[in-house]
Amino acid sequence: MIKVALDAMGGDLGITASIHGLDYYLSKSANLKVFFNIFGNKKQIEDSISKCKNISSDIYEIFETGDKKINSNDKPSVAIRKGKGSSMFDAISHVANEKSNVVVSSGNTGAYMALSKMLLGTIEEIERPALVCVMPNIKGKSVMLDLGANVDCSSSKLIQFALMGQAVARVLLKINNPSVGLLNIGTERSKGTNALEEAFDFLSGSDINFIGFIEGVDITKGTADVIVTDGFSGNISLKTMEGTIRYLTSLAQAELKSSILGKIGYLFGRNIVKSIKNAIDPRNHNGAPLVGLQKIAVKSHGNSDHIGFSNAISAAVNLAESDFVNNIKEAISIIGIDKSNENNNKKR
Amino acid sequence: MIKVALDAMGGDLGITASIHGLDYYLSKSANLKVFFNIFGNKKQIEDSISKCKNISSDIYEIFETGDKKINSNDKPSVAIRKGKGSSMFDAISHVANEKSNVVVSSGNTGAYMALSKMLLGTIEEIERPALVCVMPNIKGKSVMLDLGANVDCSSSKLIQFALMGQAVARVLLKINNPSVGLLNIGTERSKGTNALEEAFDFLSGSDINFIGFIEGVDITKGTADVIVTDGFSGNISLKTMEGTIRYLTSLAQAELKSSILGKIGYLFGRNIVKSIKNAIDPRNHNGAPLVGLQKIAVKSHGNSDHIGFSNAISAAVNLAESDFVNNIKEAISIIGIDKSNENNNKKR
C-alpha cells in the first residue's frame, strides 16, 4: 500500500486546495491501495473533511501541527532552523522515517527544497535536487528542468539536470532513449555563457542522446524530450508560458463574444475551446517531483486549487508506484556523472 | 528628411525580406520624407527592386558591398576584426558618419551589438546597449529589456536597463511615468539572486516608479509598463512566448477543423481568429532598438519576412523622428546612474 504524506497547510489556498483536492482525487481514482497521512491544523482539517463525500475515515490519519507553518516569504535557512513542528517539516520527516512513501506540498518552494534535501538526503552524485515538470507540446510531452530550485547555472548543475531529466523522461514519459536539449539564446555553439559551452562539450561527448542547444521557441515545438536549463530561466520560461496561455484564452473569449458572428462561432466551437483549455491547463500538469533525492517529494504549484492539488496527489502516487528513486539512481550510474565535477565552480 | 541605412543582406531571408520589406513599407506608408541607403550585393538588389512596385529610383541609393557579409555564427570579435566592407558594418558606419540617421539590420545580433557599440559609441553612463521590444499585454503594451544583447546580469546592468526602459516607454508608448518591474522567480525580496536584490534595493530608493519584483506570468498581464531582466532570461522568455503563441494557434486550428461543429464554428469565428493572430503576430512588433547608443540602430528579427522587416523600417523611422537618443540621455541624466557602479562586478 502506498502511503502519502500531505502538507495540508501549504500554498495560497491551504486546506481549501489540499483537503478538497484529496476529495477530488478520490472521486476520480479507484485506487484503493493509498493511505493518506495528513499534517496540519486538526480541527480545520476535520471540519473540511466533514464537507467532503469521498474521504472515508479508514484511509487517512491526521497529525496535529496546529497553526505552525512555513510562510511563503520565509528564507530556506529560516525553514531549516525554525521549521520543526510545521506541517511541511513534519510531512517530509514522515517520509524520511519511512512511515510514508511520498510527500506532497504546495508550500514555499525554497523551503521545501531545503528541508527535503536535509531530511531525505540526495543521491550520492547529485549536489542539489531539481524541480521537474511534464509539459505538453505539438508532438506530445516533454520534461523540463530545473524550474526554480537552483538559480545558479554552473556547467556541472546543467549536466546533472540532463542526466536526471533523461531518467525522468524514461520513468514518466516511457521514452526509451529520450533526446536532450540545452536551452540557450541561439543554437550555435558560440552563443550563450561559458557554463553552457562547457555543458555542451561534455554532453556532446557522452552517451546521452544530446541534440545540442535549443531555443525558447523549441519548448512547445517538441524539439527535445528533455529541456535542460538553470532554475532561474526555467522558472521565468514556465511562468511566461502560463501567462501567454491565459492572455490568449482571455483574448479569444473576449473577441468571440464581441460580435454576432463571433458569438455564433463560439456557440459551435466552445467545446473545442474547452478541450484546448483543458489540454494546456497548468492544473492538469501540476505535481513536479524534486529529482535527485533519496526519497520522493512532489511540489504542487503555490496557487493551485483543488483540481491542481488532486493532480499533484496523482503524480505522487504514480511516482511511488514506479520505484522512481531506484530508476533515477540506475540511470545516473549507467551514464556516470563524475566528470562533471571538473567544472564544479563555474558560474554563468 | 530621415535617411535610413538598410543592411539588405542580413537575416535568414536576406534580400527577399529586406527589399520586399522596403516595398511593403512604401506601399503602406505615405511618408515621403524618407530616403534609403541600401548596403549589399548591388546586382541582386537591383534585380529585386525591378520586381517591386513602390521603390522609385529617387528615394534610394545602393552601396556595393558584394557578397561580403557577417554570418549568423560569427563571433562578435570576428565581426569587429574582419567585418569592414560587409553590408552590416558599412550600413552602421553610414550612421556613424552622419550620412544616415538610423540603421536597420536582421543580421547576427551579437555582431550587430558589438559593431554598433564600436562604431556609434554608447551614452556616457551606459556600459553596453540593450535590446528592447514593445509587447502586447491584456491592458495594452509594455517594453521589455534586455532581450539577448547582455547575457550577464550584474545589478548595475539591471539598473541601467530600468533607466533606459523607462525612457523608451516614455518615447515609444507615450507613458509619462511608466511603472518598472524587475523579473524574478518570486515577488518576495528574498527570492532570486544577489544582483536582483541589490538592484531591487537601489530602485526602491530611486525616483523611478518601481513596483518591485514581478514574475513570468506578469509579462502578459501588463503588471508593469517596463519589464527589466538580463538578456539571457529575456531572450528565453520572449522566444517561449512566441513558441506558445504558435503552439496554441496551431492547436486551435487543428481542433477547429477536426469536427463538423468545429468547422462551422471556424467559419463564423475565423475573422476573429485572424484578428487575434494579427494582434499577437511577432512580425507586427518587429524592430527592436538597441538602446544606450549615441545614434539609433534597430534590430529586425533574424527570421523576419518582408512584413516583419517593413515594421522594423517603420520603427526605425519613428525613432529617428522622435529625437530618441536625446530623450534617452535626458531621462538618464535626470535620474542619475552613477550609484549603480558600486555594484559593477557582481554576477548572479
Asked if the structure places residue B226 within a domain, the reply is yes
Is A272's CB within 8 Å of B264's CB?
no
Same domain assignment for residues B115 and B147: no
Asked if the structure places residue B297 within a domain, the reply is no
B75 has a pLDDT exceeding 60: yes
pLDDT, tens only, B161-175: 998 999 889 878 889
pLDDT, tens only, B35-47: 999 999 999 999 9
Contacts of B133 in chain A (CB under 8 A): none
What span, in angstroms and rounded, lies between the C-alpha atoms of B293 and B238?
23
Asked if the structure places residue A19 within a domain, the reply is yes
CB contacts < 8 Å between A and B, how many? 205
Q: What is the CATH number of the domain that holds B13?
A: 3.40.718.10
**How far is CA A147 from its chain centroid?**
8
What pLDDT shows up at residue A339?
41
Find the mean pLDDT for residues A90-99.
97
What pLDDT shows up at residue B92?
98
Domain count within chain A: 2
Same domain assignment for residues A162 and A249: yes
- At B330, the pLDDT band (50, 70, 90 cuts) reads confident
What pLDDT shows up at residue B270?
66
Find the mean pLDDT for residues A284-288.
84
pLDDT, tens only, B267-300: 666 666 676 677 667 777 788 899 999 999 999 9
Residue whose cell numbers read 540621455: B329
**C-alpha cell recorded at residue A285:** 500538469
Proportion of chain A above pLDDT 90, given as a percent: 56
Same domain assignment for residues A104 and A230: no
What span, in angstroms and rounded, lies between the C-alpha atoms of B284 and B290?
18
Which helix (H) or strand (E) element contains residue A228?
strand A226-228
Nearest residue, CB atoms, A236 vs list B190, B237, B348: B237
Asked if the structure places residue B1 within a domain, the reply is yes
Same domain assignment for residues A18 and A116: yes
**What chain A residue is nearest to B245 in terms of C-alpha separation?**
A244
Asked if the structure places residue A290 within a domain, the reply is no
Asked if the structure places residue A318 within a domain, the reply is no
Same domain assignment for residues A142 and A272: yes
What pLDDT shows up at residue A342?
42
Asked if the structure places residue A308 within a domain, the reply is no
Contacts of A152 in chain B (CB under 8 A): 348
Instruction: Check if B248 contacts A (Cβ < 8 Å).
Output: yes
Asked if the structure places residue B293 within a domain, the reply is no
Same domain assignment for residues B104 and B176: no
pLDDT, tens only, B54-65: 999 999 999 999
Domain stops at, among A82, A101, A120: A120
Domain stops at, among B76, B102, B120: B120
Is A276's CB within 8 Å of B221's CB?
no
Find the mean pLDDT for residues B11-28.
94
What pLDDT shows up at residue A257?
73
- At B343, the pLDDT band (50, 70, 90 cuts) reads very low
Same domain assignment for residues A139 and A166: yes
Q: Which of residues 133 through 162 in chain A touch B, CB cutoff 8 A? A: 137-138, 148, 151-153
Same domain assignment for residues B9 and B70: yes
> For A97-154, where are the alpha helices, taking DSSP H only?
109-120
What pLDDT shows up at residue B135?
85
Same domain assignment for residues A84 and A129: no
Is A243's CB within 8 Å of B280's CB?
no
For chain A, give the mean pLDDT.
Answer: 87
Domain stops at, among B120, B139, B162: B120
- At B53, the pLDDT band (50, 70, 90 cuts) reads very high
Same domain assignment for residues A110 and A159: no
The residue among B69 and B120 whose pLDDT is bigger is: B120
- At A267, the pLDDT band (50, 70, 90 cuts) reads low
pLDDT, tens only, A127-144: 888 999 888 898 989 999
pLDDT, tens only, B222-268: 999 999 999 999 999 999 998 988 888 787 777 777 777 667 666 66
Nearest residue, CB atoms, A251 vs list B188, B247, B276: B276
Q: Which of residues 99 through 118 in chain A touch B, CB cutoff 8 A? A: 109-110
- In DSSP terms, B4 is beta-bridged to B36, B102
Same domain assignment for residues A59 and A146: no
What pLDDT shows up at residue B267?
66
* Lowest-confidence region among A198-207, B104-113, B131-140: B131-140
pLDDT, tens only, A14-40: 999 999 999 999 998 876 689 999 999
Same domain assignment for residues B8 and B92: yes
Domain holding A94, by residue range, is 1-120
